[in-house]
Chain A
Amino acid sequence: MLQVEGLRAGYGPLEILHGVSLEVPAGSLVALLGANGAGKTTLMRTLLGLLPARSGRILFAGQEVERASVERRVRLGLGLVPEGRELFPSLSVRENLLMGAFTRRGRAAIEADIERVLTCFPRLKERLALPAASLSGGESQMLAIGRALMSRPRLLLIDELSQGLAPAIVESVLAVLVRLNRDEGLTILLVEQNARKALKVASLAYVLQSGSIVLQGRPDDLAASPAIQHLYLGGEAKAGGPDEENLDARSLVRGGLNKEARGEE
């Protein structure tokens, strides 16, 4: 479905991705792990075309798309749930969903897909006419996913699914995604901070560090690998390691500090 070879991208003089290569097979659910600042979001943006690729190839659905416009990639079947959801707060829930179908024509099919999204996320149904600004964090993520689904993607890129969400909500949203992947054959590339949760549902996983893929393989192998824990500690090897939940918490805290140092929001 998606093949990336030697992808380089960045902002201004700063190169973030130093030749990323990865493959997302059709029908798979692939997890992309990595600490904050590893380049996960940059990779997502470059895949969709929000950021130009400096070199390398992106092969999607048999076509080279690294020079194609975002619009074209969306039409080809790439969908993105951006980091931080990025809803349209002053548009209603329904209008947010309609925006997701921006590149599509055919009212009836679009209405049918709104119904389909509401079946996946029934909580959005009663909020359809309300502005997206009034949604809770979990509902926002559901709407962000629903909006991305409205373009009828063949490959859904999800950037930071669990960010700022309660564990129970992450579970229920993940369950929906797993069901879409299994029953409807939706291919998913899931970027996650929470390595444990992502590895549990994925069929293939990659680890991105400092703009390069440093590890890849079956989730079971990766989970067992001490390298994963090592990476999540960012190089401070910790003997007799704490349990994984704590690891996640640590990497989140570290990530937060890194973000601050880089002057991001």
Chain B
Amino acid sequence: MAMKRIVSPLKRGQVSQDAPIGATPLTTGGRAERASGGERHVWPRVTAPLLGLIALILLPSLFDLLFGDSADFQLHRVTLILILAIAALAQNLLTGYAAQPSLGNAAFFGVSAYLLAWLNSDLQQPYWLAVLVALLACALLGLIVGGPALSVSGAHLAIATLGLVVLTGSLLTLWDTSAGRQSYELTALPEALGDDRVLYYLVLALTALVFFCAFHLLRSRIGRAWIALRDSEVAAAACGVALTRYKLLAFVVSAVLTGLAGVLYATWGTTATASMSSVDQTIAFLTMIVVGGAGSLSGSLLGALFVGLVPLLLGELPDPLTLGPLQLPIATLTTGIYGVLLLLALIFFPGGLSSVFSRGGRLVQGEGGKP
């Protein structure tokens, strides 16, 4: 019964006899959103993001009214969600659009943070130069790792890239241990970034820019090629898409965006930790796109919102949480909750939250479930 429920929503909106073969929940989420495409729906596509952006620009003022003195503290938490949204988008471009089930993004997340810490704090290089080098390093690393990784597909790719994460995490821990530290503190950050408001606006601007670019990238030749190879590799190849080149491009773009999220995350927390390259972090990335909606830009935002809120809510609890004889570290609890969210999402709304919303939207417009 549960299996049936997982499969059936995938067929939604597909009236043709030849439903795609081998479609998996991870790679089909965008269909519902795209299925509502066409010129009639330009309004929500342009207006909703714009309204959202304006709301986010005004958010600090709203927080002043709501929280008074603790407004900056609350804003700091929202900043995290925006950073996570970039990481979710990175995973989504690679997995939700280009259909590569890579679990390796957490490796780039940690590496870029450590590079920033090393260049900026230890080598005393300017912050922006350090960020730039970290991103370039991610691109290079993505290119080097992506080639061999993408020569295998499906589960093999997932396992190989997960191995990369574990390896990276171990190396970063080794670095920390040999340098005699718990985590890598960022001690030479520009003073302005210490201000929660400045950081918020910087991250907001970068997130908006990244999403804007992604929106247009996905409607370009490159984005079409990614979606095409997701929908049918054979037909994409027959159209003359050089599959390996476009998969690698998705891998590198995803690595750079994850690297950007990594440096911002380290800046936000003023520290880089080896746990940024961990299986837990991978699960968090995965949860964001599955819960939010694979193959959906709005899904990346929604996923980041949910994944970002969980630790914030759990942060109110004492750590470790004592339940009778049980002593639960909050980190373990967080990953456990991500697992439950993943499971629930896959069972009840495989298209992610974004598909739930767009389905609702279409019901309101009286179109029913069918395009």
Interface contacts (Cβ under 8 Å), in number, total 123
- Inter-chain CA distance A48–B239, complex, in Å, is 10
Residue among B16, B35, B225, B234 making CB contact with A82, cutoff 8 Å: B234
Q: Which residue of B lies closest to A49 (CB)?
A: B237
A131 and B31 in contact, given A86-B232, A92-B37 (Cβ under 8 angstroms): yes
Instruction: Select the stretch in B17-25, B279-287, B312-320, B325-333 that faces chain A.
Output: B17-25
Stretch from A2-10, A99-107, A181-189, A220-228 that touches the partner: A99-107
In the assembled complex, which residues on chain B have CB atoms less than 8 Å from the CB atom of A69? Answer: 242
| A129 proximal to B (CB < 8 A) | yes
Q: When the two chains form their complex, are residues A130 and B232 in contact, meaning their CB atoms are under 8 A apart?
A: no
**Cβ–Cβ < 8 Å partners of A164 in chain B:** 17-18
User: Of A48, A90, A265, which one neighbours B34 at CB under 8 angstroms?
Assistant: A90
Whether B231 is near chain A, meaning CB under 8 Å from some CB there, is: yes
Chain A 131-153 interface mask (CB, 8 Å, partner B; 1/0): 11111110110000001100100
Are B241 and A102 within 8 A (Cβ)?
A: yes
Known A129-B37, A133-B15, A265-B21; judge A86-B234 contact (CB<8 A): yes
Closest CB in chain A relative to B317 CB, distance in Å: 41
**Chain A contacts for B242, CB-based, 8 A:** 69, 71
In contact, A131 and B18 (Cβ under 8 angstroms): no
Given known pairs A70-B240, A130-B38, the reply for A87 and B18 (CB within 8 Å) is yes
Q: A165's closest neighbor in chain B, by CB?
A: B17
A23 interface residue (CB < 8 Å to B): no
Q: Are the C-beta atoms of A88 and B238 separated by less than 8 Å?
A: no
We find that the number of chain A residues with CB closer than 8 angstroms to chain B is 40
| Nearest-Cβ distance from residue A235 to partner chain B, whole angstroms | 31
Q: Does B371 contact A (CB under 8 A)?
A: yes
Q: Which residue from chain B places its CB closest to the CB of A48 in the assembled complex?
A: B238
Give the distance to chain B from A186, nearest Cβ to Cβ, in Å: 17
Residues of chain B with a CB closer than 8 A to A98's CB: 224
List A residues 53-97 near B (Cβ within 8 Å): 69-71, 74-75, 80, 82, 84-92, 95
Residue with the highest number of chain A CB atoms closer than 10 Å, among B13, B238, B241, B370: B238
CB distance from B134 to the nearest CB of A (A): 34
Most buried by A among B20, B235, B370: B235
Separation in Å of the A224 CB from the closest CB of chain B? 35
Q: A91-B227, A133-B31 are in contact. Are A100 and B239 (CB under 8 A)?
A: yes
Cα separation A82 to B237 with both chains bound (whole Å): 11
Q: Residue B13 contacts which of A84, A91, A103, A131 (CB distance < 8 angstroms)? A: A131
Q: Chain B, 210-254, contact with A by CB distance < 8 Å: what is the 0/1 string?
A: 000000000001001101101110111111111000000000000
Determine if B239 and A89 form an interchain contact, defined as CB atoms under 8 angstroms apart.
no
A117-133 near B? 1/0 per residue, CB < 8 Å = 00000000000011111
| A103 x B240 contact (CB < 8 A) | yes
Q: Nearest-CB distance from B24 to chain A (Å)?
A: 14
A131 near B227 (CB under 8 angstroms)? no
- A133/B232 in contact, CB under 8 A: no
- Tell me whether A249 is interfacial, beta carbon within 8 Å: no
Nearest CB in chain A to that of B31: its residue: A90
Contacts of A50 in B (CB 8 A): 234, 237-238
Q: Are B238 and A137 in contact (CB under 8 A)?
A: no
Which residue from chain A places its CB closest to the CB of B33 in the assembled complex? A90
Q: Which residues of A contact B17 (CB under 8 A)?
A: 136-137, 140, 164
Q: Does B295 contact A (CB under 8 A)?
A: yes
With a cutoff of 8 Å between Cβ atoms, the chain A residues found around residue B16 in the complex are 87, 89, 132-137, 139-140
13 contacts between A and B (CB under 8 A): A70-B237, A74-B238, A88-B228, A89-B16, A90-B28, A90-B35, A98-B224, A131-B13, A134-B370, A136-B15, A136-B16, A147-B239, A148-B238
List 16 other contacts, CB 8 Å, given A71-B240, A89-B19. A50-B237, A71-B242, A75-B240, A89-B16, A89-B20, A90-B227, A91-B227, A95-B224, A99-B235, A99-B236, A99-B239, A103-B239, A136-B16, A139-B16, A164-B17, A265-B21
Closest 3 CB pairs of A and B: A129-B38, A86-B235, A74-B240
- Point out residues on A near B: beta carbons under 8 Å: 48, 50, 69-71, 74-75, 80, 82, 84-92, 95, 98-100, 102-103, 129-137, 139-140, 147-148, 151, 164, 265
Residues of B within 8 A of A (CB): 13-21, 28, 30-31, 34-35, 37-39, 221, 224-225, 227-228, 230-232, 234-242, 295, 370-371
